[in-house]
Structures are given as C-alpha cells and as structure tokens.
Amino acid sequence: MLIFVFLGYSGTMMALETLVNEWVDYLRVEKGASTHTVSSYRRDALRYVRDLQERGIRSLAEVSARGIEDYTMRLASGELTGHAAATASVARAQAAIRGLHKYALTEGFVGVNPAVHLHAPRQGRHLPKALTVDEVGRLLDAAHADDSVIGIRDCALLELLYATGARVSEAVSLCADDFDLDAEVPVVRLFGKGRKERIVPVGSFAVEALGAYRVRARPALAARGRGATAFFLNSRGAPLSRQSAWTAIRRAAQAAQLEDKVSPHTMRHSFATHLLEGGASVREVQELLGHASVSTTQIYTAVTAAALREVFTVSHPRARGTDEIAQR
C-alpha cells in the first residue's frame, strides 16, 4: 500500500511537470513563441507546479482562484524565493499561470479555469533609457578602436544594433543570407517575436563594419568551428549567444566609460529615440522596430518629450525658479 501511494504521488508530480512541458511545446510550435519567452514561461510554470506539489495539490483541477492569489502574494513578498520579486516578474509569472490553466482547460484536462480572472499587478511606466547621439558616437568609437578579430566582430554587432534597432536576440540569430549589403539600399531581414519578418535598411557605417567583419574576421572565427551558418560567431566558431553579445556591448561601454548607462536594449532604445528626434513618424519607427502595436512605440515619444522639457526647464527664463527670476 505504501508503495502504491508513493508511486501514485510520483506519477502525479510527473504529470504536472509533463503538462508544463507540453504547454511550452505548444507555445513554441503553435504560437511561434521565442526561445527566451518559452524558457521564461517554463521556469515560472515549473516553480508554480512544484509549489503545488509541496502543498499536496496533485492536479490543476484542485487549484482555486484563492490559492493562485496566495501563491502570487508569496512570490511578490519573497516568501517563495527569499527575496521580493519585481512587479514585472510577478506579472510574467501570472501570465504563465494563466496560460497553463487555459491550456489545461482547452485540452480537456480540467473542467474550469481558476486563473481566468487573475489580474497582473499594475506596473509603473518605465521610460526606455537612450544614449545621446554623442554618447553613441563614443561607444562606437571605442568598438572601432579594437582591431582584433573579436574587436572587428563586436564593432560590426554594435553598428548593426544602432543602425537597425534590432533586438540582441534578432542580431545573434542572423545568417549571412539575411543580408543584402550590395543592394542600392542595403537591407537586413530580421525575425522578431513570433518569427515575424521585417526588412530594415542598413546605414553606410554599419555596412562598412559588417563588410570588414565578413572579410577580415568571420572566416578566421569560422575556421575554429564546425561550419556554423550563424553570421555572428564566438571565439570557438560557434553561434554567438545573447549573453556573449551583451558581454561585447558591455566591453565597449567600459572602454567608453558609459558602463552605467548601457543595457542590452540601449542601442535599440537609442535608435528609436534618435529617429523620432530627427523627424521620423511613430508609425515609421513602429515598422522598423517590429512592434505589433503602435502604443508600444509611443513610449519613445515620451522620452523625447521628457528631453524637450529638460531643455525648456534649463534654457527658458519663464521655466526657472522664482528666486532666479527675481534677481533679474
């Protein structure tokens, strides 16, 4: 009898984790979710079902809406992990829980979805942090200063990120065939979230850097590997990872003394902000960034508006403090 209970409990544990794996496979194959999204949702969902198991819950059919709310509260407070979770992390975990329960209902594993009314926590609006044009110039100059094979690669990567607004994940996924740098208007084919394709023009500085990498550096890196088709390669000739690309960005930022101002998305944010400051429309920037909704792009207009307000505050006499005005 004891053996039967143990095996039954183990089988249930496996069933919940198997359900998670089936769901993330569905996201990847049927929904076209990115590797990063699938990995994040799988991690959040596994943490959730393992917590259920620890509390003796053996099926999603036993879960209540109150139980899910209690779980997210414990996650947010730090009771689950030992440190309080950021609002964005809680929101993502709730999205994973909603998705898992919806999948279980759709597939007929359960009869009700207790997560259907689960609401994500309200997140503050964080404006993207962009570099100034001069700061981007310093960053790219620092990248150009390294003439090693890796330096030439890093320079090409940074020039591409700023020239196209590509996500780091999109850049490291590129193959040589995705470029048409010899066309009258050089372009690159990017694959965004959900494998949505877009064609983005590439400026002359980036074309030059990419050409130098293709001729002077990539063959040397490729010779160290096993014939990888990825355009950007690491020191072993294998495809460059997102983490290694971020290391390359950070290396240039350190050389330019901009380390505190740079993140993996800084070049993308700077690309969008500088286009809007230069007169591009929100719709045009939306297309170039690959945003599904224009509302996502419109946050960059707040960035440029904030910069204009700062200029106004510093420069306009009517915007200065009353004490300063009184002294005139």
Active site residues: 167, 193, 265, 268, 291, 300
Task: Count the residues in the chain.
Answer: 328
From CA 282, how far away is CA 288, in angstroms rounded?
10
- Angle, CA 221 vertex, CA 217 and CA 225 arms, to 5°: 160
From CA 234, how far away is CA 221, in angstroms rounded?
7
175, HSE (Cβ side, Cα atoms, 13 Å): 5
Three-state DSSP at 311 gives: helix
Residue 281 bridge partners (DSSP): none
Q: At which residue do the structure tokens 């065939």 appear?
A: 177
Residue 180 bridge partners (DSSP): 187
Three-state DSSP at 233 gives: strand
Dmax (CA) of the chain:
92
Closest CA to 256 of 269, 241, 266, 244: 266
Cβ atoms of residues 162 and 205 within 8 Å: no
**Cα dihedral sign, 78-84-87-89:** negative
Residue 188 bridge partners (DSSP): 179, 200
The residue type found at 67 is G
CB-based contacts of 73, cutoff 8 Å, min separation 6: none
- The structure tokens listed for 221 are 């890196």
Tell me the DSSP string of 47-95. HHHHHHHHTT--SGGG--HHHHHHHHHHHHHTTTTSSPPPHHHHHHHHH
